[in-house]
Amino acid sequence: MSGYAWHPEPEHVEHSNIAAFCRRHGVDGGYRALQARSVADPEWFWERAVQDLGIVWHVPPQRVRDDSGGIAFTRWFPGGRTNLVESCLERRVRLGRGGAPALRWEREDGTRGVLTYGEAATRSARVAGGLRELGVTVGDRVAAYLPPGPEAFVLLFACARIGAVLVPLFSGFGADAIAVRLADAEPRVLVTATATVRRGRRHDMAATARTAARTVSCVRHLVVVPDRAGAAGEPGPNWDTLAGSEPAESVPLAVDTPFLLLHTSGTTGRPKGAVHTHGGFPAQVGSETRYNLDLRPDDVVCWVTDPGWIMFPLVAVGATLAGACVLTYEGAIDHPDTTRLWRLLDDHRVTVFGSSPSLSRTLMRHGARHPESPGRLRILGSTGEPWTEEAWHWYFAELGGKRCPVINICGGTEVGGSLLASAPTLPQSPCGFAGPCLGVDAAVEDALGAEPPEGQAGELVVRQSWPGMTLGLWRARERFARAYFTRRPGRWSHGDLVSRAGGEWFVHGRLDDVIKVAGKRLGPTEVEDAVLGDPAVGEAAAVGIPHPVKGEALWCFAVPVADGPLGAPERERIRARVADALGAAFRPGRVVAVPQLPRTRNGKVMRRLIRDVVTGEEPGDLSTLVNPESLDALRTAVRQQH
């Protein structure tokens, strides 16, 4: 990397939440000193962090953690009773901030609204009462197939209020993908919208949900949000019925009571359900949003995500713990043109904005520019996949005006938050992380379990449990231990390729994506950076393809800029660029021009799927892809350019 691109101003450091915590507890040395102490003495840190966050205990825990069962089965805050609704909503009302905005929302057609903390508390209580009337009790699952907006936000807290387990489903799923997750979670109730609109096109969500529900026996009630266009309502209970019910009081719950059952899947195997709790999840995400994103009560937080992904509950819970306001947007963020994003940020006075790097690459590809960055922004966030340096600089300059830190976070659905993050009180290099999150004992290890030399990559592992770690995989205890703890006993194996240099950490992609040419290893982002330096290329993916001599050959897949030419001369030029940047050994065997890359809705490029297409392997689960048609285009491009 090219050195620091951003330095914090002294007054920003002094007034940060990190500095306030360090002053209160006598920690000298700022974030790095606090991180070291939080790992050396997790009980000390987490006891003070939950106090700082304002976690409400009905019964205080007997201790901070019990790790006598080993890292995989650590119990956090044992003996405590709580309910995250009390900490997130009711506490704000009691503090006299019931009139402060908790949620702002906007849809693609321009309609918008605001929910105060008092209104959010009241509506969630009424919807919780309605769920109870449908027979939902503590431990019952409620599935949510909803677009971003007030219903998804309220339902999250309504389920938590009565101890029901929320099962979020990506709003772009088809009926088969929904049915698989319903069969696994066995929810009593499925809540959906009549329809959603994206890029001006209407998508009938209720019909999809109904088709999925017919394939399982567990769903007893389909609850539909009435069509905002005024179409006839659905038979049976609808959202308005729930929202008009007698309010339900929040239930004090044991800290390890499940709150969230969120499915994640790779390219093979059935989806696995990560379980998050009323105790661990708020502590983890509250710490990250307070100390890494530096959230404050006057902030408006917008993260481009879907209710079916971990970032939606992370932001909803983390922001309300801080007393901040969440902004949700239903629709395409670049529709009808790329100025939509800037208008959204300006109109709602957003101060903290987050997205995946793929959004920056998309806007770059379309030449998006704004005369000046949104003036109220003070923090940028990112997650989902590694940055390329060009895209990072674009985000830093075009969205943040080169004055906002870019807070990278790296974690996942099973993590219940993040393992690595940037810190707003430390200088930043493009694409870098400050290191592990507070209270997270992360390290980098090579195949033998040793720490690799500076600049060399190894696997990201965690040596102690953290509060947000999934309680396990739903109805798959053995699969949980096998997936994360078998390869490195006593360690959480995260599967990310990470290096450290100059005090910062850098993520290079998944271990499955590592390319090995004649015994030489490199991460795909290094190659993609070189490919994207060519003016003809808008997006790129690098994969290793089996080779009889080298073990693997490097192939690059490139999406042209604005559908421009990417013929033989351009492809040969790209091969030369990569060889010049990385060495002759890494000259790509082939450069393939494709119209699009396979992606999940949260922005991850599925390199494993690209490799499977080339090798003819069965691609497995495609339910998280936003553009499954890209695989047919890949097959055609590979054949045509053979």
Distance, in Å, from the CA atom of 607 to the CA atom of 18, rounded to the nearest integer, reads 37
Residues constituting the chain: 642
Among 603, 560, 554, 562, which Cα is nearest to 581's? Answer: 554
What is the chain's alpha carbon radius of gyration, rounded to the nearest angstrom?
A: 24
What is the fold of 515-640? GMP Synthetase; Chain A, domain 3 (3.30.300)
Q: Which helix (H) or strand (E) holds 105?
A: strand 101-107
Residue 563 φ/ψ region, left for φ over 0, alpha for ψ in the -120 to 50 degree band, beta for the rest: left
Q: How would you class 448 by CB atoms within 10 Å of its CB: exposed for 0-12, middle for 13-18, buried for 19 or more?
A: exposed
What sign has the CA pseudo-torsion 503, 509, 512, 514? negative
Residue 267: predicted pLDDT: 40
How far is it, in rounded angstroms, from Cα 382 to Cα 358?
A: 10
**Residue given tokens 């009323």 in the structure block:** 278
Mean pLDDT, range 470-476, rounded to an integer: 91
> Would the pLDDT of 293 be above 70?
yes
Structure token pair of residue 179: 């049915």
Q: What's the mean pLDDT in 147-176?
A: 95
Rounded CA separation 642/630 (Å): 18
Mean pLDDT of 350-356: 95
What the block records as the tokens of 195 is 């329809």
* Cα gap 133→608, rounded to integer Å: 46
Residue 357, helix vs strand vs coil: helix
What residues are paired with 460 via a beta bridge?
444
Alpha helices in 99-199 (DSSP H): 117-133, 150-162, 175-185
The edge-to-edge listing of strands for the beta sheet with 112-116 is: 112-116, 101-107, 325-330, 300-303, 352-355, 379-382, 406-412, 417-421, 435-436
- According to DSSP, the residues that pair with 410 across neighbouring strands are 420
Report the distance separating Cα 500 and Cα 457, nearest Å. Answer: 8
Show Cβ contacts of residue 501 under 8 Å, excluding neighbours closer than 6 positions.
1, 454, 455
Give pLDDT tens digits for 539-568.
899 999 988 877 788 999 999 987 677 899
| Beta-sheet strand order (sheet of 189-193) | 221-225, 189-193, 141-145, 165-169, 258-264, 272-277
| Residue 410 vs residues 53, 135, 327, 442, 456: alpha-carbon distances, Å | 22, 38, 22, 12, 19
What phi and psi values does residue 292 have, to the nearest 5 degrees? -90, -45
What whole-number distance in Å separates Cα of residue 230 and Cα of residue 227? Answer: 6
Which structure tokens are listed for 43? Answer: 């009980």
pLDDT grade for 416, boundaries at 50, 70 and 90? very high
DSSP letters, 361-406, are HHHHHTT---SS--TT--EEEE-SSPPPHHHHHHIIIIITTT-S-E
Digit-coded pLDDT (tens) for 481-505: 888 998 898 999 998 889 999 999 9
What pLDDT score was predicted for residue 622? 77
What SS3 class is residue 560? strand
Mean pLDDT across the chain, nearest whole number?
Answer: 91
- Tell me the three state secondary structure of residue 433: strand
Mean pLDDT, range 596-602, rounded to an integer: 81
Maximum pairwise Cα distance, the chain:
71
Q: Is the pLDDT assigned to residue 524 strictly greater than 90?
A: no
- What DSSP string runs through 256-289? T-EEEEEEE--SSS--EEEEEETTHHHHHHHHII
One-letter amino acid for residue 559 of the chain: V
Distance CA 217, CA 112 (A): 37
pLDDT band at 608 (very low <50, low <70, confident <90, very high): confident
Helical segments of 187-279, H only: 205-213, 239-243
Q: Which of helix, strand or coil describes residue 104?
A: strand
**CA–CA distance, 639 with 614 (Å, rounded to integer):** 9
What amino acid is encoded at 161 in this protein?
R
pLDDT at 589: 93
| Rounded average pLDDT over 126-138 | 98
For residue 79 the two structure tokens come to 């003996």
pLDDT of residue 25 exceeding 60: yes
Enter the CATH code of domain 10-501.
3.40.50.12780
- 171-192: burial string, b at 16+ Cβ within 10 Å, e else: bbbebebbbbbbebbbbbbbbb
Q: pLDDT at position 519, please?
A: 63
321 with 53: CB under 8 angstroms?
yes
Give residue-wise pLDDT tens across range 50-76.
999 999 999 999 999 999 989 999 999
Give the model's confidence band at 368: pLDDT under 50 very low, under 70 low, under 90 confident, else very high. Answer: low
Distances (CA, A) of 566 to 559, 593, 641: 8, 6, 11
Task: Give percent of the chain above pLDDT 70.
Answer: 95
What are the residue ranges spanned by the domains of the chain? Answer: 10-501, 515-640
Q: Compute the distance between CA of residue 372 and CA of residue 381 in angstroms, rounded to an integer.
A: 19
Q: Which residues contact 111 (CB under 8 A, 6 or more apart)?
A: 228
Residues 6+ apart with CB under 8 A from 191: 142, 143, 144, 145, 146, 151, 155, 223, 224, 225, 239
pTM (2 d.p.): 0.87
Q: Is 197 helix (H, G, I), strand (E, B) or coil?
A: strand
Q: What is the pLDDT of residue 605?
A: 86
Q: Are 191 and 179 within 8 A, CB to CB?
A: no
Name the pLDDT band for 232 (thresholds 50, 70, 90): very low
